[in-house]
Amino acid sequence: MNNVINNLINSLAGEFKKYELDEKIQFSLSKIGGYDLQINNLVKHNKSDYFHELQENVIKTINSSNIFLPVVKNDIGFLNLNLNHIYLMKNITNTQSDFENKNKSKIIFDYGGPNIGKPLHVGHMRTLNIGRSLYNIHSFIGNEVVSDIHLGDWGMPIAQIITYLEKEAIEPQSLDSSQLEIIYPKSSEEYRQNKDFKTRAQEINKLLNNNDQQLLKTWESIKELSVNSLKENFAILNHSFDYWLGESDVNNLIPKMIDELLKNEKIVYDDGALISEEDTDPKILITKSDGSYLYITTDLATILFRQKNIGYDKTFYIVDNRQSLHFEQLFSSIKFFEFNNLEHEHISYGTLNDRDGNPYKTRDGGTKPLSELFEETYKYIKEINNALDDSIISQLTNSVLTYSDLITNRKTDYKFDLEKFTNVNGKTGIYAQYSQVRAKKLLDNIENNNNELNNLTLNDVDKKLLSKLYLFSYFIEQSALLNEPHHLANYLYEISNLFNQFYESEKILEIDNSDRLSSKIYITNLFLTTSQNVMWCLGMTPVKKM
């Protein structure tokens, strides 16, 4: 919550402590029409001797805060609350300054995770959108945030590419990114079908691990080419990262890590493989019998690297739900190996499917590149809005790809329906963009936009919108607490819809009463500030016109 309401929460918790009750105060949306919020902490105490006295003290504290209109007591203890617009007008701005955080956490967001040599595909869209949104949300509420793309830039896939280049006598320096993207699946196919190719790839993988200088030069050339291509794509999609670290950055830490774990009897040999001594079913495999590393080996070394070089309180891994077992084993191993007692969480998500509910594929059955989905969306929007600048169409395209993803609860699968998600009247990114452009245009058309607000004069439509705008902190808290951006995405639609009702209910430009007009201007400005900050939290860029 914002600082205004947080202060009240602390005061209310203090009232419960007077009765030796350690109560976590929670506001929730009221289920009764005509009210904004409710507080239910008193209900479980309504049979106690101290109930009436406690309730009186709680109500007195709420009323003295001025955040809500006067509250009345009841025998059950459900307190329904209406926001005091006049008080909040002077104390809430819905800007980042409302969320100054003295108890900030440093959070690493591990997401993206592309493999070098391989193009971004639609399967990357959710990790990118959810990761960026959570990064922005936690930044907005005052946490220290760090993003790491966690590149797949080492191991057998790289060895396969190098083996293919060697077999076909292709100079790495002559490659471009499109050729590399073709080589990646071809080398993987060769590895599966050609025994000699497989043997040579395994040999190259070991040589790389032993720092063969010539092979390292080839690897560096492939990585540079691939990373540059990824950065170009991310620029179009409006994504960026603080760290471009990969598996290769921690590879040198693994031998020492394994030696220490063996020495401390945390892992043991089992038919040549190394397994954890932790009592789990199945047993956790740390290295294969041929000595090669697994994802968990690299991820454990990454923990050590981040502890030493970045520092953090929490790490969130934004990876699809099919990797749940991997992260259960990783988090369990971190504690068993006594690396640290910091917080690690797997932010899982469902799959993105086509409009028929099938996995997204190209016409020839391959994995659909994310750039293709961007182009299809871009062309579709351009056909409808061909008078707009290309830059605005690009921003609207990214709004569609972002909002359609985040409006769905991250835990569920969803269907990408281009016609549905570009509808200017639906629950879409286009609708949200249209609403904030409409608000800007309205303010531009009012001659004296800086009217001093003396008396807040409101009708029912105004009150409904204003109450929802003052609840911004509630929805951003829900998204941050649960790491679920859909709460904010839905909130963006709700305030956009209420603003359009507010806009259409009265001819604002024809209002001649100064208090009435200044109230309308104030609400419009607050809507614009709120909607644009919600967009930023979601990873959307507000457009200037439509």
- Domains annotated on the chain, with CATH: 3-82 (3.30.1360.70), 116-152+247-347 (3.40.50.620), 156-237 (no CATH), 373-538 (1.10.730.10)
Can you tell me the distance from the alpha carbon of 503 to that of 501, in angstroms, rounded to the nearest whole number?
5
Q: Tokens representing 341?
A: 């007692």
Residue pair 245/301 in contact by the 8 Å Cβ criterion: no
Task: Please report the pLDDT score of residue 102 as a whole number.
Answer: 79
Residue pair 393/383 in contact by the 8 Å Cβ criterion: no
Residue pair 295/284 in contact by the 8 Å Cβ criterion: no
Residues in the chain: 546
User: Comparing C-alpha atoms, which of 48, 15, 13 is closest to residue 27?
Assistant: 13
Helix (H, G, I), strand (E, B) or coil at 221: helix
Q: Tokens representing 406?
A: 């985040």
Can you tell me the distance from the alpha carbon of 86 to that of 529, in angstroms, rounded to the nearest whole number?
18
Q: Given the DSSP bridges, would you call strands 267-270 and 273-276 parallel, antiparallel or unpaired?
A: antiparallel
Cα–Cα distances (Å) from 186 to 36, 179, 183, 191, 476, in that order, read 59, 11, 5, 9, 46
Task: Please report the pLDDT score of residue 365 as a whole number.
Answer: 63
Which long-range contacts does 413-417 make (Cβ < 8 Å, 24+ apart)? 413/350, 413/351, 413/352, 413/353, 413/357, 414/350, 414/352, 414/353, 415/353, 415/354, 415/355, 415/356, 415/357, 416/122, 416/352, 416/353, 416/354, 416/355, 416/360, 416/373, 417/355
Can you tell me the distance from the alpha carbon of 246 to that of 149, in angstroms, rounded to the nearest whole number?
8
Residue pair 344/319 in contact by the 8 Å Cβ criterion: no
Task: Please report the pLDDT score of residue 360 as a whole number.
Answer: 80
The number of beta carbons lying within 10 Å of the beta carbon of residue 318 is: 27
Can you tell me the distance from the alpha carbon of 297 to that of 306, in angstroms, rounded to the nearest whole number?
15
Can you tell me the distance from the alpha carbon of 221 to that of 158, in angstroms, rounded to the nearest whole number?
12
User: Comparing C-alpha atoms, which of 288, 284, 357, 344 is closest to residue 318?
Assistant: 344
Task: Please report the pLDDT score of residue 362 as a whole number.
Answer: 66
User: Comparing C-alpha atoms, which of 427, 322, 330, 346 is closest to residue 131?
Assistant: 346
Residue pair 403/489 in contact by the 8 Å Cβ criterion: yes
The residue ranges of the chain whose pLDDT is under 70 are 362-365, 449-451
Helix (H, G, I), strand (E, B) or coil at 41: coil
DSSP 8-state code for residue 290: T
Residue pair 76/46 in contact by the 8 Å Cβ criterion: yes
Can you tell me the distance from the alpha carbon of 278 to that of 331, in angstroms, rounded to the nearest whole number?
12
* CA contacts within 13 A on the Cβ side of 422: 19
Q: Tokens representing 501?
A: 């009702």
The number of beta carbons lying within 10 Å of the beta carbon of residue 462 is: 21
Stated as kind and residue range, the H or E segment containing 86 is: helix 85-91
> Taking the CA atoms of the chain, what radius of gyration do you get in angstroms?
28
Residue pair 451/516 in contact by the 8 Å Cβ criterion: no
User: Comparing C-alpha atoms, which of 423, 427, 426, 506 is closest to residue 462?
Assistant: 506
Can you tell me the distance from the alpha carbon of 163 to that of 140, in angstroms, rounded to the nearest whole number?
47
